[in-house]
Structure 1
């Protein structure tokens, strides 16, 4: 039987030393630095990046974790077609190394899944460690007939249904379907550079 993700109690500011909020345009530069530190500059060549290139995250589904006034965690969800079935892809999820013992990653996951369910989405797919993501209901049970646009490890392609049966007929390639991202100039260190502004 497929596990359907169920909402759990989210951490509050009274119990956690950080807050989760909607990503802001001002978070983008810090977010990019956090992702580089977490995954290295080669992160742009990863298979799942093909599902995000040139796209904006799903509306209302990009979040930042803030600790002592600075962004220390990030997660986004993106529209995809899972063999013709609308779904979301989650990632990347990253947490600043200095805050990894605070539960930021788990809180971001719980918050993102609850927000996706509240917006009526049926399923979330990701590529990651089954041992870590199983606690959120993810498994490879419904991804056996799906493929990513590039090399991937079959046992790391995971999904969770937010609505029972949402991925029952999922078969074929996972492809990006989200809105195109808009480009804007961001000033950093006195120099202007182009970044994709993808805040929801």
Structure 2
């Protein structure tokens, strides 16, 4: 396998169309019905914490972080993390993930939530949210509701419902 010349940069407004096509290929039309998608509805993601991966001029991956309200605290909802299927297994998702978490930590954010596979996200520090500790606004397998603390004690401070951050 040849080495990729991968560039990871902040998402730009010009990337939106390519990212939407990537999400469509990766997740299909049912992606809008997912609980995590509903949390992001109508709330803009934070471009300073959202990144794209490019090989040359081809956009091959994307990660977004969106602010949410978790109980009485603010948190970030990660997702979608998407990699072009032909480029999977090359570390692109991991590179995007690490870049977004590092940027969130640098900007002073305390907690990142996501719905995903614990075996994959564990390497970034994600753990299952204790059952009933935080409640999402729709059905989610509790084994897939994960959090990573960017500041010690952040998860313990956040109890209650998770909702879109009202502006």
Q: TM-score, normalised by structure 2?
A: 0.93
Structure 1, unmatched stretches of 5+, are 1-14, 180-200
Output one character per residue of 1:42-101: Cα deviation in whole Å (capped at 9) or x when no partner. 101111111111111125111110012111000100111111111101000000011112
User: What's the counterpart of residue 163 of structure 1?
Assistant: 151
Deviation at 1:111, TM superposition (A): 0.2
2:28 pairs with 1:49: no
SS at match of 2:152: coil
Task: State whether structure 2 residue 112 is matched by structure 1 residue 124.
Answer: yes
Residues 2-151 of structure 1 mapped to structure 2, 5 A cutoff = 17-142=5-130, 144-151=132-139
Q: Does structure 2 retain, via aligned residues, the 8 Å contact 1:21–1:64?
A: yes
User: Which whole-Å CA distance do the structure 1 matches of 2:150 and 2:113 have between them?
Assistant: 11
What SS does structure 2 have at the residue aligned with 1:134?
helix
| Cα pair distance change 1:59/1:73, threshold 3 Å | closer
- Contact 2:49–2:103 under 8 Å retained in 1: yes
**Equivalent residues of 2:11, 2:47 under 8 A apart:** no
Is the Cα–Cα contact under 8 Å of residues 143 and 158 in structure 1 kept in the other structure? no
- Asked whether the equivalents of residues 62 and 81 of structure 2 are also in contact (C-alpha less than 8 Å), the reply is yes
Taking structure 1 as the reference length, what is the TM-score of the superposition?
0.78
Aligned residues: 165
Any conservation in 1 of the 2:69–2:164 contact (CA below 8 Å)?
yes
Segments of 4+ moved more than 3 angstroms? 141-144
Q: Are the equivalent residues in 1 in contact too, given 2:12–2:47 (CA < 8 A)?
A: no
RMSD (Å), alpha carbons: 1.5
Tell me which protein shows more helix as a share of its residues: 2
Match of 1:5 in 2: none
Higher normalized contact order (CA 8 Å, seq sep 6+, divided by chain length):
1
Q: Using the alignment, how far apart are the partners of 1:131 and 1:144 within structure 2? A: 21
Conserved? CA contact 2:35–2:138, under 8 Å? yes
Q: Structure 2 regions of 5+ residues with no counterpart?
A: none
